[in-house]
Amino acid sequence: MKNSKLKVDAYKMGYYQDNLCTNCHQNKIEDLLHYFFQCPKYNIQRNSLLQKIKSLAKLKNMSYKSILQIVICNNADNIIQKNEFIYLLKSIKKYTTQTQRFE
Ligand SMILES: [Zn+2]
């Protein structure tokens, strides 16, 4: 996820003039937090993702930033069990597929 196709990264690579999200036109930087948890364009897909996240008791009250850290760092040790971590990764993957952001 270091060099994603999100504009925050594509901008750094020189592909765009800015790093703002063009899916919602709210002048927000399109970073992981925006894409997964804030961009209104994906509200419908996000409902399903949030339901799955909330079904994991340990993540229920965790900040979105902390949840992203778990996913990015691939480090769920001592936080959630391995099967829960896999469930989280699958849920994230399903979200990215459903939003079609990277097609
Ligand atoms: Zn947006």
Q: Mind listing the pLDDT tens digit for each residue in 71-88?
A: 888 777 778 888 999 999
Helix (H) / strand (E) containing 49: helix 43-54
Ligand 1 center from residue 62 Cα (angstroms):
22
Question: Helices (H) and strands (E) in the chain — how many of each?
Answer: 5, 0
Ligand 1 center from residue 5 Cα (angstroms):
14
- Rounded Cα gap, residues 31 and 27, in angstroms: 12
Ligand 1 center from residue 40 Cα (angstroms):
6
Which residues contact residue 58 at a Cβ distance below 8 angstroms, ignoring those fewer than 6 apart? 79, 80, 84
If you average pLDDT over residues 58-71, what whole number do you get?
92
- HSE value, Cβ hemisphere, 13 Å, CA-based, for 88: 26
**Residue 31: predicted pLDDT:** 96
Phi first, then psi: what are they for 20, rounded to 5°? -85, 145
